[in-house]
């Protein structure tokens, strides 16, 4: 489906942007330019989006961060694949998501402005504070460069999702969970995890004890480097998602093993399949 978008200015401060088609590496810049032309209260209607990747998510994150104290951004979306992408990346905690354009418009016009580190869980109206510590060097280009070798398309998507998701993780184990949920949907890692019984839904988030270690800094870059070493060991011409899976197991160790067990994956069989 050819990509296009409409821009409806409802009043001096409120706009609705409605992209249609695939929102990906090739088309995300068009959305970025469209957002430069709007005011400070914006609804993005994703009803017509047929596919969305990490590049588009990055555009939305950057735009949200650019809004002033009086700004508001709401996303209108009822499509399960897009909602699942927001869930996997942790951005369901960062954006205000509504099932209809009307509800989203009401929110940006009347909803109270909040600090950027405060989010509302979609559909609940309950605020909760999320610690966001962006990993400044964890963008996709930096991660690919750190890897030192080419990435398959699926591996690039996983790194892009992880680059966005890691900033919202609360602990190393939370990061490991987000890695698993990204990996299980892409490439040979997804096929392997499915064959080993990984569940369709994310496991229940365990209680986070006060003494639990903080999230890893530069997590995506570290995993990319380990994946590069694994791919070279296997004489692969490019990093595959299975290399990223092995790297996550190496980097996170027991944190990732606990996540795998909660998701029904036998750790010993996975390690055997990965030849670790």
The DSSP-derived string for the chain is ---EEEEEE-SSSEEEEEEEEEESTTTHHHHHHHHTTS-SEEEEE-TEEEEE-HHHHHHHHHHHHH--TT-EEEEE---HHHHHHHHHHTTTTTSEEESSHHHHHHHHHHSPP--TTEEE-TTT--EEE------TT-SHHHHHHHHTS-B-HHHHHHHHHHHHHGGG-SSHHHHHHHHHHHHTTSHHHHHHHHHTT--SSPPPPPP--TTSPPPPTTHHHHHHHHHHHHHHHTT-SSB-HHHHHHHHHHHHTHHHHHHHHHTT--HHHHHHHHT-
| pLDDT tens for each residue of 163-214 | 767 777 889 999 999 899 889 888 899 999 999 988 654 445 544 444 456 7
> Do the Cβ atoms of 220 and 159 come closer than 8 Å?
yes
> Residue 79: pLDDT band by 50, 70, 90 thresholds?
confident
| pLDDT tens for each residue of 104-126 | 999 999 864 443 333 333 333 32
Domains in the chain with CATH codes: 4-129 (3.30.750.24), 140-198+213-274 (1.10.1780.10)
| pLDDT tens for each residue of 43-77 | 999 999 988 877 788 788 888 888 887 889 999 99
Can you tell me which residue has the tokens 């409806």? 8
Q: Cα separations (Å) of 15 from 10, 111, 136?
A: 6, 15, 30
> Residue 255: pLDDT band by 50, 70, 90 thresholds?
very high
Average pLDDT, the chain: 78
Q: What is the mean pLDDT of residues 2-9?
A: 85
Q: Above 70 in pLDDT, residue 135? A: no
Residues 165 and 146: their CA atoms lie apart, in Å, by 19
pTM strictly above 0.75: no
Q: What pLDDT, on a 0 to 100 scale, did the predictor assign at position 148?
A: 65
């Amino acid at each position: 489906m050819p990509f296009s978008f409409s821009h409806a200015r409802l009043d001096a401060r409120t706009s609705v942007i409605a992209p249609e088609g695939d929102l990906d590496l090739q088309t995300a810049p068009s959305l970025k330019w469209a957002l430069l032309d709007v005011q400070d209260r914006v609804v993005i209607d994703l009803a017509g989006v047929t596919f969305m990747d990490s590049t588009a998510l990055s555009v939305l994150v950057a735009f949200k961060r650019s809004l002033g104290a009086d700004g508001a951004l709401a996303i209108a979306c009822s499509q399960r694949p897009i909602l699942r992408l927001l869930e996997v990346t942790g951005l369901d905690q960062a954006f205000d998501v509504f099932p209809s354009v009307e509800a989203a418009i009401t929110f940006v016009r009347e909803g109270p402005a909040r600090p950027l580190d405060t989010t509302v869980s979609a559909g609940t109206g309950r605020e909760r504070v999320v610690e966001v510590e962006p990993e400044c060097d964890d963008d996709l280009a930096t991660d690919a460069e750190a890897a030192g070798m080419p990435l398959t398309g699926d591996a690039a998507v996983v790194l892009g999702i992880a680059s966005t998701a890691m900033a919202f993780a609360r602990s190393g184990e939370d990061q490991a969970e987000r890695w698993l949920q990204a990996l299980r949907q892409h490439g040979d890692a997804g096929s392997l995890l499915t064959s080993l019984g990984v569940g369709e839904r994310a496991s229940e988030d365990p209680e986070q004890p006060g003494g639990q270690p903080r999230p890893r800094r530069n997590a995506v870059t570290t995993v990319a480097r380990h994946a590069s070493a694994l791919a070279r060991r296997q004489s692969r011409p490019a990093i595959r998602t299975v290399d990223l899976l092995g790297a996550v197991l190496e980097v996170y160790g027991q944190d990732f093993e606990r996540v795998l067990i909660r998701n029904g994956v036998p750790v010993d069989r996975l390690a055997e399949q990965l030849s670790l």
